[in-house]
Structures are given as C-alpha cells and as structure tokens.
Copies of this chain bind each other. A is one copy, B any other.
Amino acid sequence: MTDRVTLKDVAARAQVSYQTVSKVLNRQTRVSTATEKRIHDAVRALGYTPDQRARNLRAQRSYMLGYSWRPDSPNQVNPILDLFMHSMVAAADAVGYHILPFPHPDPEDHIDKYRDLIRTGRVDGFVLSSVEYQDSRIRFLQREKFPFVAFGGVAEPSAMYVDVDGTEGMRLATAHLIAQGHTRIAALGWPKESRVGELRLAGYVRAMRGAKLPVRARWVARGTGSVETGYQATQHWLQGGERTRPTAIVAVTDVLAIGAMRAIQESGLRVGADIGVTGFDDTPLAQYLTPGLSSVRQPIWQAGQNVIDLLVHCLEQEPLAQTRVVLNPELVIRPSSLLHADNTSEIAITHNE
C-alpha cells in the first residue's frame, strides 16, 4: 500500500543507472567494490525487493505450478491432501516457485481450465493427480508440449510421474498376515476399472502365490470404497464354516477395512485375535479405531518433494537423472493384524526383499 521501492529509487541513491543495479543484484556484471557497496547499502536502506510481476512479464514466466485435485466425494476422507499440498508448497517455495490451486472442473471442460491457465501465462507447469486410464489432460498437455508431472503412474511414454508402488504395499500387508500364520486370506478391492485398485490387488496375489497359498475368486470382492461394501462382503465370508472361512482380510482402503472390522465385531469375533485386518492409506482414522488398524502408509511428503523437484528441473532445463520415480510404501502395524496384541505400540516395516 505504501509506495513501492523500485530499481530506479535504489539507483538514484547509489548514483548509478538502474540497469546497473539490476545487474549487480543478479551478479551479471562486475563493478568496483565501492559502487557495489553503495548499491547494497541503498538496497538495505530503502528496503528494496524486486517486483515479481515485472519479472514475470519480462521473463515470460510466472513461477507458478498449477494443481487441482478431485474433491473427494462430499464426506470422504482426504488425508492425502493436507500433507501432499504442504509438501509441494514447501518444496516449491524452497526453489522460488509457488503452487496455484484451481478448482477441479467437470471432466468435460477440464481442458478449458488448463488451456486458460496456460494462455494467460498464469502457470509454468502442472501437477496432475488422480489421473485416469486415458486421461485427456495428458494428451492435451503433451500435444501442447507444456510441462507437467503426474502423481500416480501414467502409461504415456515420455510423461514424467511420481508413483507409489501400490502392488508392493499390498504385498507387504498380505505377507505380514501370512507371517502371522494366516493361510486363508480374503481381499477387498475396488471395481475392475480402477487402475490403482487392480495394481494393489496384484500385490495380494503376488504375496499369496509367493507363499504357495491359493487365491480363490470368491475371496476377492470388489466394490465402491464404502463401509457398506466391506461390511457386506465380510459378513458373507464369515458365514462359511469356522474351518473354511478366511482368517484374515486385506483391504485396498481403510474405509473398506472399517466395514470388515464392523462385520467381524458384530458377529462376535475379535479383530486381530480371530480375524486379521489391514487397510490402506493410513488414514488418520486407522489409529483411532479400536483396535487400531494396520495400514499401508504412502510416503506422501516424499512424493510431493519429488513431484516438484522433477517439474522444476524440467522447467529450468536442468538435466534430471530420472523422469519417473516410484516410491515404496510402508506397513504400519497395529493390533488389528496381530494374533496377540502384547504391545500397543506401532511399528512400521518397509520393503525388504
């Protein structure tokens, strides 16, 4: 609100041309130490800070990275967002960039939003999340040759992304249950259309096969990630005889796992001691349930850092060692998957071949 201090003000005080001030500040030229000192003194005395808007115009850049996320269906949990956003904001800030969040529009006029942000020069690049199978945004951005990094795997070649190995996460959870002595393990998944869902289920299958345990079709249930889905599937499984029904359940989502837990408890069995349960995402929910729910935790903070790192390197035309990063999740173990809950403390185990 008070009048802005510009290069010219500094220059007048230091008795040099304003372009020289600019160059000295950006270390583009060498001047006598005397003038250099005068300039820096003037900068400090006046409290000069370069105007980003002018820089943006001149450089034809905005130093902004667009990001829009899907508002998780009205009342769903989005534990990811807070952390992911924070991670990206911090990483971007550290290298002179900022995040520009924009509303996730209807799937159809998606592109218009993106196009507009590009055309108006508001952003230099995009972070994409919740990408789908044939995502029109990716096709569009690639055609426009506009830089972007996706969070989540992307099939398109030459697209940069950071992903968390869902298969490995689910393998970890399943293997953990197997190590507890479980042999009859059922799985709660998402509909077949969901790429992430299928990848996670693949981890279940891999762990079972690895231990030479049978994978039965009727022990794999798919549905929307609601409590109800998990509840009903589990209830159905529990109707089997005590010697034939599953003794453990892995779920691709914490919410599905909650459904399973509820069904187990209502049928008079104990979660953990009688039937082991694991979830996915390590939603804040998981630690507050009784018993605490074991869950696969994604390294969200790390992912955010990597996404920005990739994108900024690309924007700065710096060489980057890799164009795609795959991170390993870890399993946070709580009583829900333990036969005897001797200790209530959490332990996290991660990938070990």
Residues of B contacting A265 in the complex (Cβ-Cβ under 8 angstroms): 290
Find out whether the CB atom of A75 lies under 8 angstroms from the CB atom of B287: yes
Judge if A54 is at the interface, Cβ distance under 8 Å.
Answer: yes
Give A246-260 as 1s and 0s: 1 = Cβ < 8 Å from B's Cβ atoms.
Answer: 000000000100100
Mark out the residues of chain A between 171 and 220 whose CB falls within 8 Å of any chain B CB in the assembled complex: none
Given the known interface contacts A1-B144, A82-B81, A85-B101, the answer about A52 and B288 at a Cβ–Cβ threshold of 8 Å is no
Judge if A28 is at the interface, Cβ distance under 8 Å.
Answer: no
Given the known interface contacts A102-B93, A258-B288, A288-B227, the answer about A122 and B52 at a Cβ–Cβ threshold of 8 Å is yes
CA distance A57 to B53 in the complex (A): 5
CA distance A89 to B102 in the complex (A): 6
Find out whether the CB atom of A82 lies under 8 angstroms from the CB atom of B72: yes
Tell me how many chains of this kind the complex includes.
2
Judge if A98 is at the interface, Cβ distance under 8 Å.
Answer: yes
CA distance A330 to B83 in the complex (A): 28
Give A268-302 as 1s and 0s: 1 = Cβ < 8 Å from B's Cβ atoms.
Answer: 00000000000000011101111000000000000
Q: Which residue of B lies closest to A94 (CB)?
A: B103
Find out whether the CB atom of B121 lies under 8 angstroms from the CB atom of A284: no
Question: Count of chain A residues with Cβ under 8 Å from any Cβ of B?
Answer: 55
Residues of B contacting A75 in the complex (Cβ-Cβ under 8 angstroms): 284, 287
Find out whether the CB atom of A52 lies under 8 angstroms from the CB atom of B120: yes
Tell which of A72, A102, A144, A288 has the most Cβ of chain B within 10 Å.
A288
In whole Å, how far is A89's beta carbon from the nearest beta carbon of chain B? 5
Find out whether the CB atom of B144 lies under 8 angstroms from the CB atom of A2: yes
Given the known interface contacts A62-B53, A265-B290, the answer about A100 and B100 at a Cβ–Cβ threshold of 8 Å is yes
Find out whether the CB atom of A51 lies under 8 angstroms from the CB atom of B121: yes
Residues of B contacting A41 in the complex (Cβ-Cβ under 8 angstroms): none
Known contacts A47-B119, A76-B284, A285-B285; 13 further A-B pairs (Cβ under 8 A): A51-B121, A52-B121, A53-B56, A53-B62, A71-B86, A75-B284, A78-B82, A81-B82, A93-B102, A93-B103, A262-B290, A265-B290, A285-B288
Residues of A at the B interface (CB closer than 8 Å) are 1-2, 4, 47, 49-54, 56-57, 60, 62, 71-72, 75-79, 81-83, 85-86, 89-90, 93, 98-103, 116, 119-122, 144-146, 227, 255, 258, 262, 265, 283-285, 287-290
